[in-house]
A and B are shown apart, each in its own frame.
Chain A
Amino acid sequence: MTSSLFIDIGSYQVQKSGEDCFGDTIYAKKIPEEQRIIGILSDGLGSGVKANILSSMTTRMAMKFMEDNTELQRASETMMDALPICQVRKISYATFSIVDSELEGKTRIFEMDNPRYIFIRNNRLFDIKGREFSSPKWKDRKICVSQVNNLPEDRIIVMSDGVTQAGIGNKKYPLGWGRQGCIDFILKTLRQDPYISSSALAEKIVNEALSKENGAKAGDDISCMCLYFRNPRKLLIVTGPPFNEDKDREISEMVANYDGKIAVCGGTTANIIERELCLKCEIDKTSFDTKIPMASKMEGVDLVTEGILTLTDAYRMLKEGIDKNSNTASVRLVKLFLGSDRIDFVVGTKINVAHQDPNLPMELEIRRNIVKKIFRLLQSQYLKEISVRYL
């Protein structure tokens, strides 16, 4: 796989019932210079504060060692030596699962005593044989290393034993929910919603595990981290008629040939595309609102809206948070922004004479300015990849 993948990483945790803090720690980090993402899940011995300290120390140390590419045996020995010894059990202990992914697709997974990671490809479980080794110093601790080359739509799920042992001792689950139960649930969830985001999937898994417990009270810390490898979700935003009418065709062809979602923001722009591509465009009356003009439906285009007012409102929502229970054109636009990884703006720079009327409200921004504000915000706050082209 030569083209760069996008890795969506998300996690969810529930702490042991009655405890004040999480005994498991999840820590993920992007290293943009190396095009690398490292995610670590650690389960500390016991629960509560003690476990929290053990697992936090483990994740931080492991992250440092991974970043520096320290040799594994040395790294793991140092980690085990450094952890404080439990008063009760006279051992120092925290499990870990480390997923180290490069955007080109190579992923290495290091595990110690956590339930084995789950690797899903083509909606099936892919069992990968790992190599096991232990250090001479800690013979009973086995670290399992495996490596996969990721393809788009692969998923890796790591979890703490709170997930697999959920409900242990119940009549229904005498041995706990089990890894297989978890796998079945993941596959079922993915069949229903193949493009579910990592954080949503992690939350579902944890909640399902929690539902197996007696009285839905967590008997252990339940944590899950998911990675979802996918081709970047692309979005094309076309707004404004081009300065030169000769470019009308060019803009329309961009819309026709784009391999991703498309939003057209601007009445005149929509009219141009409707005319050039001979598409039918109809107003969608379900989006009626007194503040934002209604959206329209056009074949092959995901969203058609009015221009400046909608963009200005979308900018407001990107700053202040999306309006709930609303179906206006601007809410739909913001949802498209947030659901995309890479956003290409094509901005027509023709000035709308009618907007220069001094009797119009001040809020009518110049298109180029509002687009600039939006993409800067998307870049800095939402970490989206952005490209802009003026026509």
Chain B
Amino acid sequence: MEKIKVKICCGTSCFVMGAAQIQVLEFDPPADIKDKIEIEESRCMNYCHNTAAKYNRGPFVEVNGELIEEANFEKVVNKIREILDGTKD
């Protein structure tokens, strides 16, 4: 099965809003999703710059290309589990 791609923005504003806590996924992920994810950090995904698009606040995380705004560890893990459950059926 193809791994789920998780892209975490580590730009300044995402980082101060808590991206570092999401990066824990890389070093100490929950056991059930451990082998099923692939983490990529981005220096800045530019969502914060794009004021016209009216994005909410960071941290911004993309899970398989789907954007999560105001992300935190739970939100991201839940999203990953959701996708994993979806593929089982």
Contacts and interface: CB of A to CB of B under 8 A. Distances in A.
A268 B46 CA distance: 8
B43 A270 contact: yes
A252 to B, nearest CB: 16
Contacts of A288: 23, 26-27
B17 A293 contact: no
Interface string A263-293: 0000110110000000001010100111101
B43 A271 contact: yes
Given A267-B43, A293-B19, 9 more contacts: A267-B10, A268-B44, A271-B43, A283-B41, A306-B12, A352-B12, A354-B48, A354-B58, A364-B13
Interface string B1-40: 0000000001111011101110100110000000000001
Contacts, number: 74
B68 to A, nearest CB: 17
B12 A267 contact: yes
A354 B49 CA distance: 6
Question: What 4 A-B pairs come out closest when comparing CB atoms?
Answer: A354-B48, A267-B43, A267-B44, A354-B13
Name, among A270, A271, A290, A354, the residue most crowded by chain B CB atoms within 10 Å (CB to CB): A354
Interface of A: 267-268, 270-271, 281, 283, 285, 288-291, 293-294, 296, 304, 306-309, 352-355, 357, 359-361, 363-364
A44 B68 CA distance: 74
A225 B33 CA distance: 60
Interface of B: 10-13, 15-17, 19-21, 23, 26-27, 40-41, 43-44, 46, 48-49, 51, 57-58
Given A288-B27, A290-B20, A360 B13 contact: yes
Name, among B15, B21, B46, the residue most crowded by chain A CB atoms within 10 Å (CB to CB): B15
Contact of A293 (B10, B46, B57): B10
Contact of B11 (A285, A304, A306): A306
Contacts of B49: 268, 352-354
A142 B49 CA distance: 74
Contacts of A361: 16
29 contacts: A267-B11, A267-B43, A267-B44, A268-B46, A271-B43, A281-B43, A283-B40, A283-B41, A285-B26, A285-B41, A288-B23, A288-B27, A290-B23, A293-B11, A293-B12, A294-B10, A294-B41, A306-B12, A306-B15, A307-B12, A308-B12, A309-B15, A352-B13, A354-B12, A354-B49, A354-B58, A357-B57, A360-B13, A364-B16
B43 A306 contact: yes
B12 A353 contact: no
B16 A360 contact: yes
B31 to A, nearest CB: 20
A268 B57 CA distance: 18
A291 B26 CA distance: 16
